[in-house]
Amino acid sequence: MNAPLLTVRDLKVHFPVRGDFLGRNVQYVKAVDGIDLDIGMGESVALVGESGCGKSTLGAAILGMQKPTSGTIAFEGRAVFHGERETRIRLSRDIQTVFQDPVAALNPKMTVGDSIAEPLAIHGVGDAKSRAERVAELLALVGLHPQHAGRQPNAFSGGQRQRIVIARALALKPKLLILDEPVSALDVSIRSQILNLLLELQRQFGLSYLFISHDLSVVRHFADRVAVMYLGRLVETGPTDAIFASPVHPYTEALMSAVPLPDPIAQRKRQRIVLTGDLPSPANPPRGCAFSTRCPLVQDLCRQAPPPLVATGEGRMAACFVRAGGRDQTTDTGSRP
Ligand SMILES: Nc1ncnc2c1ncn2[C@@H]1O[C@H](COP(=O)(O)OP(=O)(O)O)[C@@H](O)[C@H]1O
Ligand SMILES: [Mg+2]
């Protein structure tokens, strides 16, 4: 991997949830519970997992919007201290975000041009004339007409609005974009257009992406690496192709089994693994492996302590006693890497 742009170490974000009326027995929702993650320059990393597993909370912590309970985040080797004004200003130049809902992201009363120019104005970049030029350039970059700058957001479709949001995110020439479910609210027919636009922009500007998605099929042709999250922790990471070809963690395997295969014969032969039971509460996670309550391969030792994330070769890591060892080497590592 290239020199890391972003380094996250043992990051935890725990939210207190109220106990009884005297404030006793306060519990914590362990939304993010000990995550290590690197993103290299120009690299795109997909963060996938079911809704509620902590993806957005991790994204918000990286953006400086959510204070971690513990752990560290460094951007270009410099520690990110949350709540420090200087850090926030520096981060908002280098790290930008695109959320799921482009309607909520744009002020309906502002023209599209003013919305795109807003970060430039806030950071005092250029004068009115140069900002208008930059807005025209950004609109063209995302496939819209520069003449659209004077219109209100409601004149645009969902896909076009997401293009406007992307233009605004690029205004300050960031290095890293946190893309939090950027196509999940869009019609299926236009998702690939927006994904292709993001890929093209990444190539053109050498951007790094953290692409958050609950849908593994979206990330296949998009990300260099995949990080699979379950209940606040990473259970598997590795190059996208390798993970799709041979998932190690049973949770990854289950997610993968829901992704349609391009080959219809292979698709017909394949069995979909349906996970039984709900995602356990992050306020009261299982004692051992968080996935043990739903895992088809569960063994006794899985219920005793959480498995560590261990290297399984070829730049891959997995947290599974059964498939990746991690304590006493167990059986059934089979032919897997
Ligand atoms: N501000 C908050 N206060 C309390 N709990 C929160 C807060 N934000 C998120 N959570 C909880 O943290 C967990 C992870 O949420 P989130 O990061 O939004 O997951 P995802 O993006 O993967 O769907 C969920 O159980 C959610 O209810
Ligand atoms: Mg989310």
Residues 71 and 37 sit within 8 Å (Cβ to Cβ): no
Ligand 1 atom having least distance to the Cα of 60:
17
Tell whether 137 is covered by a domain. Answer: no
Q: Establish if 77 belongs to a structural domain.
A: no
pLDDT value at 162 more than 50: yes
In a domain, 272, yes or no: yes
Whether residue 276 is predicted with pLDDT greater than 80 in this model: the reply is no
47 within ligand 1 shell (Cβ under 6 A): no
The CB of 28 under 6 Å from ligand 1? The reply is: no
Burial class of 179 by CB neighbour count within 10 A (0 to 12, 13 to 18, 19+): buried
Q: Does residue 203 sit within a domain?
A: no
Give the 3-state secondary structure percentages of the chain, helix then strand then coil, rounded to 5.
35, 25, 40
Protein residue with its CA nearest to atom 1 in ligand 1? 15
Distance 71 CA to ligand 1 centre (A): 18
Handedness of CA 103, 108, 112, 116 (dihedral sign): negative
Contact (CB, 8 A) for 301 and 314: no
Closest CA to 45 of 34, 32, 55: 55
pLDDT tens-digit readout, 91-126: 889 999 999 998 899 999 999 999 999 999 999 999
Cβ neighbors of 166 (< 8 A, separation 6 or more) are 98, 142, 182, 194, 197, 198, 201
Q: Which residues neighbour 247 within 8 Å (Cβ) at sequence distance 6 or greater?
A: 236, 253, 255, 256
| 87 CA distance to ligand 2 middle (Å) | 24
- For residue 59, give the ligand 1 atom closest to its CA: 17
Tens of pLDDT along 73-87?
999 988 887 666 777
> From atom 18 of ligand 1, which residue's Cα is the shortest distance away?
56
Which percentage of the chain shows pLDDT scores above 70? 94
- Residue 168: other Cβ atoms inside 10 A: 23
What's the domain count of the chain? 1
Residue 292, domain member (yes or no) = yes
Query: Radius of gyration of the chain from Cα atoms?
Result: 21
If you take atom 25 of ligand 1, which residue's CA is the nearest one? Answer: 52
What is the spatial distance between Cα 85 and Cα 64, in angstroms, rounded to a whole number? 10
Rounded Cα–Cα distance for residues 39 and 132 (Å): 33
Beta bridge partners of 8: 37, 73
User: Measured from the CA of 232, which atom of ligand 1 is nearest?
Assistant: 14
Question: For residue range 221-274, what is the model confidence (pLDDT) as tens digits?
Answer: 899 999 999 999 999 999 999 999 999 999 999 998 888 777 788 777 777 777
Atom of ligand 1 nearest to the CA of 66: 1
Residue 44: pLDDT above 60?
yes
* Mean pLDDT for the stretch of residues 35-47: 97
Is the beta carbon of 54 within 6 A of some atom in ligand 1?
yes
pLDDT at 3: 64
> Is residue 201 in some structural domain?
no
- The residue range of the domain holding 299 is 247-337
pLDDT of residue 329 exceeding 70: no
Q: Please count the CA atoms within 13 angstroms of the CA of 336 that sit on its side-chain side.
A: 23
Q: Which amino acid is at 325?
A: G
* Count of C-beta atoms within a 10 Å radius of residue 208: 25
Report d(CA 76, CA 66) in Å as an integer: 19
The closest residue, in CA terms, to atom 3 on ligand 1 is 15
**Does the residue 312 lie in any domain?**
yes
Residue 280, ligand 1, Cβ within 6 A:
no
**Quick check: is 258 in a domain?**
yes
